Structure 1
Amino acid sequence: MLSSIFLQSGGGGAFVLFFLIFLVTIGMVVWTYSDARKNSSHPAFLWAVVVFLAPLLGIVLYVLLGRNA
């Protein structure tokens, strides 16, 4: 019964999915910024912007190129 109400809610499921993806993206940006402040010689703000604009590619580029560890 609850699942049929959820499916008929007019797109609420899509909103929840979008919200979760947004939270994961913001989490990746925050982690990248805090990690880049400690482990990178490049500006942390720029790495955070890269991860915000292209989340998956940005995080891979940061781990491969941005960290001095």
Structure 2
Amino acid sequence: MLPTILLQSGGAAGVFLLVFLVTIGMAAWTYSDAKRNSSHPAFLWAVVVFLAPLLGILLYLILGRGS
């Protein structure tokens, strides 16, 4: 019998990898953007976005960019 649900067939690893790669991409973009547009340390913004992706990117866009 073939598994009919993606997560039952080992698809969870693919979903995890996709989420991880998107998180790394957001942290890299935040770091490069913060180096150009923020007076705060770019590395710290990248760490915040990596540890809490949705909240971190929202905080960066509201508080960190252009200040």
Sequence identity (%): 68
Other-structure match for 1:61: 59
TM-score between both structures, scaled by the size of structure 1: 0.84
Quote the Cα distance in structure 1 between the aligned partners of 2:40 and 2:9. Answer: 42
Deviation of residue 7 (structure 1)? 5.2
How far has the Cα of 1:11 moved from its partner?
4.5
The ranges of structure 1 where at least 4 consecutive aligned residues each deviate by more than 2 angstroms after the TM superposition are 4-8
Q: Give the CA deviation at 1:21.
A: 0.2
CA-based RMSD: 2.2
Gaps of 5+ in 1: none
Contact persistence 1:6–1:13 (CA under 8 A): no
* Cα deviation, residue 12, structure 1: 1.9
Identify unmatched segments of 5+ residues in structure 2. none
Structure 1 residue 48, shift from structure 2 partner: 0.4
2:44 maps to a residue whose letter is: L
